[in-house]
Amino acid sequence: MLRELKEEVLRANLMLVSEGLVRLTWGNVSGIDRDKGLFVIKPSGVAYEDLTIDSLVVLDLEGQVVEGSLRPSSDAPTHRILYREFAEIGGVTHTHSVKATMFSQAGAELPCLGTTHADHFYGTVPVVRELSEKEVVEDYETNTGLAIVECFREQGLDPLKMSACFQMFHAPFTWGKSALDSVKNSIALEVCCEMAMGTWQLNSDGEILPPHILEKHYRRKHGSGAYYGQG
């Protein structure tokens, strides 16, 4: 079942290691087949070097396991909510990459300070509110997803234009058009966080990128008028 998607999700999870985004088993990637309404995700607590196509878990959008002998990632309910509520996305990545997790723990948004950021994220990367005690006890992972969706709806954010967020006290989530695309956004987020921290050390009063430059850099890579690359 879903052989091609499983191959992509396996490759995407292994990229977390090769790109230095994870330590131990602190991360997971999933990808969805929209036609079948099924998504594939890393199993819980399995070391990346032990991952195989057969160890991946397939779930439906109700959260039921339909294939796989291992327990899915404990973050699977968060992925499920994002797939359910952000209908355009095809992959989700969650890491505890160091720089982006610092922003999450500090509750600090990431403003667009330069064109590298603008190439990937259309504006300020938001912080999602902390969960209440009731939400944590009730269903921590599901409520994490619901809080992300709430944040994006309240701020009027398009999840395809803003493909990342910082979960307060937790860590970053990114998504994209595919599993691999979501990992690329996680890489970009980590690098942009590092660049921002260095920028503020050099100039704590630095301004955000002017809107006309943000618009130019984002649009040349995204949308009907994009002209970057060979696509």
How far is the C-alpha of 51 from the C-alpha of 43, rounded, in Å? 8
54 is annotated as an active-site residue: no
CB atoms within 10 A of CB 146: 20
Angle at which helix 179-202 crosses helix 98-106, to 10 degrees, equals 70
Q: Is residue 119 annotated as a catalytic residue, yes or no?
A: yes
The span from the CA of 86 to the CA of 81, in Å, is: 8
Can you tell me the distance from the alpha carbon of 222 to that of 218, in angstroms, rounded to the nearest whole number? 6
Three-state secondary structure of 71-99: CECCCHHHHHHHHHHCCCCCEEEEECCHH
- Which member of 33, 119, 140, 181 is catalytic? 119
- CA distances 113 to 35, 79, 107, 160, Å, are 38, 29, 18, 20
Of the residues 60, 139, 158, 228, only one is catalytic, namely 228
Q: Exposed, middle or buried, 85 (CB in 10 Å: 0-12/13-18/19+)?
A: middle
Residue type, 7: E
Burial 11-41 (b: 16+ CB within 10 A, else e): ebbebbeebebbeebebbbbbbeeeeebbbb
Active-site residue set: 119, 228
